[in-house]
Structure formats: structure tokens, C-alpha cells
Chains A and B, each alone.
Chain A
């Protein structure tokens, strides 16, 4: 066994100022740390419908100084794992609105394809800045979120014709709900798809926003339906990223294993969880990450 040391610079880009923290790490240790981070990513991602990318990209780029293209590839894999892992439970329990998800997937997949091609012409620090703004946007959104009990008894013709109105199980029994402003929601989904193709993450934030605030779908239905959709949106651009070499097996291995385990745990917790307090905590977490991302993007450290 040869003597092996790896220098992973925690403050990778501050060599000039001299304050460099060096951590010595083998692939084995590195894999275990990523595994733990991915467990958290899968857990939070499946609970919030945001996908695991929000934890994976900052963890890999900010903590380990990994090239953002590898991070984007790993994030894409994390999103697919979170989505499929948790959706298997959410769909069976009937929380996910499958018709709504399938209908809106037309918009998100078209957008994702466009975004993935645009990504070639975008430099990485701009992607990081975009990512930061998405996070701030989503944090403010989460904090402003109203209570989910008020449901609009609307009579949207389009929602009726598309059979989008449905019901979902709650601790108080099965609750019927209807869907409004279908065209508005569809347009936002198109934007969500472009962002996900551009950044390599599900942009679940925009999906939850569109369903929760615009289409007036109950919060848990919004998050689980977003969770259901993000895997498909991510898979639409996965072929392109795989071919470009963004998806590195050594890096993605702990991500897949950790995220799948985390998503499984998250899906067990969601049915009983108080989503309001969880939402608040999560909003603050992503706000902090957003500021770090913006800092790195604007100073071109990424």
C-alpha cells in the first residue's frame, strides 16, 4: 500500500493571501463525507420537492473546491435519485397528482432541452450567480408562504377538461381540491425547465411556486408533484451531460447511494411532518448557501 495523501483545499482559491487550510483525504474518506452530505441532500430534497441539488452543488464546489461541471453532473444524478426514490412512496400514497405532473412535464422537458444547449454558451460564474439568485428567490418564497388550508373552490374549465382536479390524503381524511390558472402555471414550468437544463438541477423551486401560488394546489401536493416531475426533467438532459463527461462515476457513486437512502427516509417522514416549520428552517439554510454562491460567482471564484 503506497503512502497516499491528497490535498483538498478548503479555501482553494485564497492561496495568494496565504491563509490556506489543507485537509488530507483519500478517496475512501472523501467518499464517506460525500455519502453523508448526500444523505442529507436526499432527505431535505424529498421533503421539500426541491431535489437534492441544492445541497450537492454547494457541498462539492464550496467545501471541496470541485469543478462546477462535475458538481452539476453529480447534482443531476442526485435530483433523479431523490425524485425516483421518494416518488415511489408518494405516488402509491396518492399524494402526488400524476395527471398534473404529466401535463406540466411537457413544459419542463421542452425547457430542459433548450437550457442544456444554452449551457454550452454560458460561463460557470454566471451559472453560479444565477444559482444564487434562484436560492434567494426560493428562500423569500418559502418564508412568505401562507397557510395551506385555504383552498379555492374554482371552476377552471381547462383544469376540468384536463382532469387536473383531484384529492389527497391528510391526517384529517381525504381532501378534494381544484386547480386554477393552468396557462400561467404552464408558462412558469417552461422557465423552470430552461433553468434546470442550464444549471443541471431540477429547479424544483419554480415548480413548487407555480403549483402552490399560481395554480393553488395544496402544499404537500405541490412538493410531491414537483418531486415527481424533477426526475424526468433531469433525465431529459442527463444524456447530454453524460456524454460531455460531467457525470463522473467516482464522484456520483456516494451521491447515488446517499441520496437514495436519504430520499427513502424523507418519504417516510413527509406524511407526518409539520411542513410549515420545516419550510422555515429550510428557507434559512438555502439563504445562507445563496449568499455564498453569489459571493463566489461575483468574485469569479467558481
Chain B
């Protein structure tokens, strides 16, 4: 049952990768949360009306600048980006896993999914 062993290996790799991404995102968001709540915990939440303001950190460069400035909200947003990248990196690692297992059909299928997602992310950020 050599094949099963390989599938088991992929399962463990994917499982550990997801766990790592999720734990990393959790602690980054937690760090940002402490700063954000310490500074703004007593202010007013304003979410009744949607506004795409400057403070929203909706581009990578804005998040990066906010990170360097030590803004709690930027750190949180960075953690959210890590969280978003977790399932995407899961797909990238699956491609490698299926290639190692010489399952070229599924390496191809997974590569197609990866291509769709990356093009969607790029199109979304540039839109």
C-alpha cells in the first residue's frame, strides 16, 4: 500500500500547513488587537454607513506603511492577509505534493485552481 502512504503524507503536510497559517494569523491579529483596543477601545464603532476611507488599509502598500508606523489596525489587516493566503498556499503545496506522488492529473487540476485564484486576486487588487 505504497500509494496510501503517499496520500497520508500529503494529508499530514496539508494539515500542518493549514494549522501553521491559522496559528500565525491568530497571533498577528491578537497583537494588533491589543494595540488597537488599548488606543481606541473607548471610542465609537462606526459601521452603520459604508465608507471606503483612507484608514481601511485596503491595498498591500497601505498595510505595509501602517505596519511600519505600528498601527494596530494595519497589524490586524496584515494578519487577515496571512489568513487569506493560508488556503491559497495550501493549493500551491498540493501541486508539489501531487507532483512528488507522480499524480500528474491532480497536479494539473490543482495548478488550474491556483491559476484561477491568483488571476482573480491580481484582477481584484488592480480593479
Contact = CB atoms under 8 A, between A and B. Distances in A.
B81 to A, nearest CB: 8
Interface string B70-108: 000110110111011111101100100000000101100
Interface stretch (A89-97, A144-152, A289-297): A89-97
B68 interface: no
A92 B12 CA distance: 5
A253 B116 CA distance: 28
B120 A245 contact: no
B6 interface: no
A235 to B, nearest CB: 5
Nearest to B7: A98
Nearest to A66: B47
A102 B106 contact: yes
B59 A67 contact: no
A28 B40 CA distance: 8
Interface in B1-31: 7-8, 10-12, 14-16, 18-19, 21-22, 25-26, 29-30
B14 A98 contact: yes
B46 to A, nearest CB: 8
Contact of A239 (B11, B19, B122): B122
A6 B48 CA distance: 12
A271 interface: no
Contact of A106 (B19, B26, B42, B109): B109
A213 interface: no
Given A113-B123, A257-B33, 10 more contacts: A5-B44, A12-B48, A27-B42, A85-B22, A113-B120, A163-B103, A231-B87, A236-B117, A250-B36, A257-B30
Interface of B: 7-8, 10-12, 14-16, 18-19, 21-22, 25-26, 29-30, 32-33, 36-37, 40-45, 47-53, 56-59, 73-74, 76-77, 79-81, 83-88, 90-91, 94, 103, 105-106, 109-110, 112-113, 116-117, 120-125, 127
- In the A-B complex, the 8 residue pairs with the closest CB atoms: A240-B124, A239-B124, A245-B52, A92-B15, A239-B121, A28-B41, A6-B44, A88-B18
Interface of A: 1-2, 4-6, 8, 12, 25-28, 30-31, 60, 64-67, 69-70, 77, 80-81, 83-85, 87-89, 91-92, 94, 98-99, 102-103, 105-106, 109-110, 112-113, 116, 162-163, 231-232, 234-245, 247-254, 256-257, 260
